[in-house]
Amino acid sequence: MKKLFLSAFLVLFTAGLSFGQSFKTEEGKATFYSKVPLHNFEGNSESLVGLINLDEKTIDFYIDLETLDTGNGKRDKDMKLTLETKKYPFAEFFGKLVTDFDPESSSVQDVIVKGTFKIHGEEKEIEVEGTLQMKDTGLHVTAGWILSLLDYKIEPPKILFIKVDENQEIKIDALLKPVDG
């Protein structure tokens, strides 16, 4: 019986520790900015999902690419075909914080994360600069980087016969809530 109590305690303790510093998205938005000659457009998704574990310093984000909306049906269809979303439905990042973050401070802190970004079935190690801020409402994350379509074997789509810029600016903005232990 003593062993059982000890074991139960160990499980609860371990789990509690692991959950204690984990934060999961309540709301998350990803945006990409695209340029074609004489015209710029952006695509948005409100379905960004993220999990940050401050103890382990792990960062995990993904998005269902079919939720991206550029405000134009034809463009959305072209984009999904180009990204082959039926075959590769997610864009995802998994990595680690390589700079320190003080969860006791409520100020905006610059951070750097390193990890693997995967889209279109292709993976690449990237380093992303962003900010973390511990707010009363949760952990606020912002980040941005330039995604080169060719790095992920994505052929830039032609819109009205004009090629989209190979480099796309990506931004994410998310509020993560503590995971209940």
Residues of this chain that bind other proteins (CB under 8 A): 3-4, 6-8, 10-11, 14-15, 18-19, 22, 45, 47, 49, 51, 53, 56, 58, 60, 62-64, 66-67, 71-78, 81, 89-90, 92, 94, 158-161
Q: Cβ of residue 105: shortest distance to other proteins, in angstroms?
A: 25
The Cα–Cα gap between 127 and 144 comes to: 10
Nearest CB to other proteins, comparing residues 63 and 170: 63
Q: Cβ of residue 67: shortest distance to other proteins, in angstroms?
A: 5
Q: Cβ of residue 140: shortest distance to other proteins, in angstroms?
A: 19
The Cα–Cα gap between 177 and 28 comes to: 11
Backbone angles phi, psi at 7, to 5 degrees: -65, -45
Q: What is the dihedral of CA 91, 85, 153, 36, to 10 degrees?
A: -90
Nearest CB to other proteins, comparing residues 92 and 165: 92
| CB-based contact 153:122 (threshold 8 Å) | yes
Nearest CB to other proteins, comparing residues 5 and 107: 5
The Cα–Cα gap between 52 and 29 comes to: 16
Q: Cβ of residue 108: shortest distance to other proteins, in angstroms?
A: 25
Q: Cβ of residue 80: shortest distance to other proteins, in angstroms?
A: 8
Nearest CB to other proteins, comparing residues 6 and 146: 6
What does the block give as tokens for 93? Answer: 């990042």
The Cα–Cα gap between 174 and 12 comes to: 29
